[in-house]
Structure 1
Amino acid sequence: MNLEAWSLFSLLEPDFVKNLRMVCVFGNSGNEAHLVTQSDDVYALGSNAASCLGLGDVSSTLTPKKVKHLCQKRVKSFAYGTGPHVLACTESGEIYSWGHNGYCQLGNATTNQGVVPALIPGCLKDKKVVEIACGSHHSMCLTDTGEIYTWGQNTCAQIGSGTTNNQSSPRKVSSLFGGRKVVSIACGQISSIALLDTGEVYGWGYNGNGQLGSGNNINQLSPCLVIALNTVVISKVVCGYAHTLALSDEGYLFGWGANSYGQLGSGNKANSCSPTRVAVEIGRVVDIAASHYNNISAALTQDAKVYMWGQCHSQTVPTPILTPFQSLHEVFARFGCPGVTFAPMYTMIHSGNSLMNALKLAFDDATTSDFTFVVQGRDIHVHKALLKIRCEHFRSMFQSHWKEDKDTSLEIEQFSYPVYRAFLEYLYTDELNLGTEEAVELLDLANAYCEPQLKKRCEGLIQMGINIDNVCMLYATALKFDAQELESFCFRFSLNHMTAVTQSESFDQLDERVLKDFILKAAQYGAFKT
C-alpha cells in the first residue's frame, strides 16, 4: 500500500521508499516508526519518546536515521508497548529490546532505560523465538517449541506467573496446557492471550472489561481456558486496547471484552464477558486485525472486502462498515486513534509511473498487445515477450519453430474465461483474487503449466474457502494435484470437525481408495478413539 496514508512519511525520498521491505508505525500519537530496507538496514524516525527509536539519544528526527545495532541482523518483526518500549525479533530467533523500562519490560533484569537495542540476556539465549508481543508495560515471546516467556509489569497478573509481582527477566509461563503447543500470542493493554494448536484459547491478566472471555470480570493470575469457544476451532486471535477478536477455521468471527466504542462489532455498545459471534452479515472472514493501542477493529472477507468498526477517529461505529480499502493496514492508517500499524507491514512500495503500474495498465490493452487469447468467445490481449519471461509454458509455445509464434491469436478450450484471465493477469501483476471454485480450476492450470509458485498461491486461496461441505472434495483435489500444503490443511480441518465431515455429502463421494487412506490416516491420529 501507499505510505502516503501516514503523514509521518511525507518527507521520505522516493528512492528510499522504493527500497523498503517492512514498515512499522507506533507510539501514543502514531508519530514514531521503524523501517527495514531490502538491503537489511534498519532506520527510525519520529519523536523518540523514551529513546524508543533506538538511536542512542533522545532527539527526535523527521528524516530516517540508521539504527546501527539492528542493521544486517535480518529483523523480521517488531512489537511495541505504550511507554513506549520496543522488541525486535530476528529470523534467527534472537530478541532485542530498548526504550522505556520503568516496569522491567525490557527483560534485562534492570529498570534502566534502553537507548539502543540490546539482546535480552538469560534464559532466551538458547531459544529460537518465532513471535513477540507487547502490552502497555509487559512483554511476551513464543519459541519454536511452543513455549511462552513473559516479563515486565504484572500488577494485574498479565505475565501469567501466578502472582502480581513484576518480573525483571523472561520467565516461562507454566500452565496446564496438557502438552499441547502454543502457536500464537497476543497482548491487550494489561492482558494476554495464547492460541494452541488445538484451536483452544487461553487468557490471563486484567479482566475488568471481560477481555479474557471467562464469563466474568475477575482477573486471572494464570492462563485460563476460554470455555465458551470449545465448540469451535480458532485459527487466529488479536487484541485491542481492552477487547479480543477470534477467527475460527470456518471463517466465523467472535468478540468479547470492552465495547464502549462498538469495537466488538455486535451492533451495540455493551461489554461482553463471553465470546459472542459478531459480524455475521459480512460473510466468511479470512483475516482480522486489532491493536492494543486503540479501539478499532478490522476484517478481510473471502471476497477481498475490508470492513472496519469501533472507534473510527472520533466516531463510534458499532456495526462493521464496508471500506474502499484493499488492506487492513489502511484502516489503521486512516481511521485508527492513534494511526499505528497493528503488525509489521511487509511491502514493496512503488510510486508514480513505476514498472509495476505500467505492467498493470498494459494487461489486456489492445493498443499495445501483439497476441490475443480467445476464451469462451472473449478476447484477452497480451504481450508475447512478457509471457515468455514470466512462464515456461509460453516460453516453449512461442518458439520460432512452433506455429503459435507466427499466429496472432489462440483459442483456449480447456479453461474458463475468468480463470484464464486471472492467470494471465497474475503474470502481469503477481495478484490473484478468485473464489474457491475458480481457485481449484486455476490449481489445475498451474499444475498443467508447471507453475509451482502459482500452485502455492492457489492452495492459499482454496484454504480460505474450506468448509465442512467441501473439505473432502478439496482433500481429493489436493491429492490429485500433489498439493501437499492443501492436503495437510484439509486433513487437519477434517480432524477438527470429524463428526460433521463424515456426515457430509462430499465424504460419501470420496473415491474408495482415497476414503480408505483417509480413514487409516485419521485413525492414526486418534480420530476414532472413544
Structure 2
Amino acid sequence: MVVTDKGKLYGWGYNQSGQIPIHTTSNKSLSGSGVATSDNVQSQEHFVIPCKITAVSGKVIVKVACGFEHTLALTDEGKVYAWGKNDKGQVGINNKQKSSAPVMVDVPELVLDIAAYGNLSVAIGSNQTVYVWGDCFGEGITTPFPTKFSRIHDAFAFSAMSLMHKPLTVSMNNDVEEVLNLLESLRTLFDDPSTSDFIVHVEGQPIHVHKTILKIRCQHFKNKFQHDWTDSENDQRISDPPAVYTISDKFSYIVYKAFLKYLYTGTVDLPSEQILELMKLADEYCETNLKRECGQRIKQAITSSNVAFFYGKAIGCNAKDIEEFCFQFALCHMKDVVLSEEYIKLDTSIKDNFMRRAAQENIFKTSLQRVWT
C-alpha cells in the first residue's frame, strides 16, 4: 500500500482477506462507522499492478499502516479507517468478521498517528493516549482500548509477536574501536604485494592475498590448502601449495577480485550489472552469505529500464530467485519494460517465454480492466 503526495491510496499484492478493496460500483463505504460491506467490492485473490483504492475517494489519506492481512488508513481529519482480516479484532469494529471495505474505527478522540504489525493495530490520540486493538495482552481486543503506554513502540512489546519494541542504543567503547581497527587493518592487507604470501592469477593479472585469510574465510580455499595438496590417506602434504594459483576463464578478473576483496572486508565492491556473475561464483564456492548479499543488491538496483537485462542474466546464471523477482517486477511495470532498450535486446526465445508467462498471469486482462474501470 502507498499514499501519494495528493493523499490518494494505491494497493497491490495478496488480497485473500480483502486488504485491497477495489470497488466495482459506488464509494459509499466511508459514509459512517460500522456500515461498510463487501457487496460492492471486487473480489480478486491478488493484484499484480498498483490499483487505486476508490473506496477511500473523497478522503485525504496522510498515512497507511499494514499488518499481516489488514490495513489502517489515517485521514487529514484525524479519522482512522480499517479493513481486511479480522480474526483477532484487528480491524476494530467490535466483532471478528472480515471487512473487505474500509470502516471507520471508533477512536474516542482525533488520531495523530497509527501503526500496525501482525494482527495488532495501534493509534495515538490527540491527548497522547495510545490505543490498541487486535492481538494484544494475550487477548483479541475488538475495539480501541486506551493504555498507559507513552509511545507506539511499547504497545508492540505486549503483542504476540517477538520483535524489538524500542530503539536500541549502541555505544562505542574501547573493545568496539579495537575491532574496527582490526577490520581496517585487514582491509589494507588486501592486494598488498609487500605482505602477500600467495598470488591468484585471473585473466593474466595478479591479485596478492594471504593463505591464512583465505583458509579462515573461504571453505573452497580451505579445501584447496588442506586436501588438494595433501595425501588424504596418510594426511601428509604431497606438495607445497603453489605460490601462484591460476583461475580458469570462467570468471572475469574484476569479479574474482571483488570476491577476494569481500573475504577481507565483508563488503561487495562491484557495479550492479556484474553482481550476477559474483552471485554465480558465490554459489559455486558455497558462500551463502555472499550469495544472499548479491541477491539483495540486485533487487535494490532493478528498475523498469534495466529489469529485462537482469531477467536475461538471471536465466543465463540459473538464478531462479532473481529471475522470479524480475518477472514479478516486470509485470507491475509492463508498458515501460516492453518499451525499454534492454527488453528489445533480449533473445527472442526469452521474450517469447516472458510473454507466455505474462499471459498465464492474466496481465493483459488486468491491464484492460484498468483501462475500462
TM-score relative to the length of structure 1: 0.36
**Structure with the higher fraction of residues in strand conformation:** 1
**Structure with the higher fraction of residues in helix conformation:** 2
- Bigger Rg, which one: 2
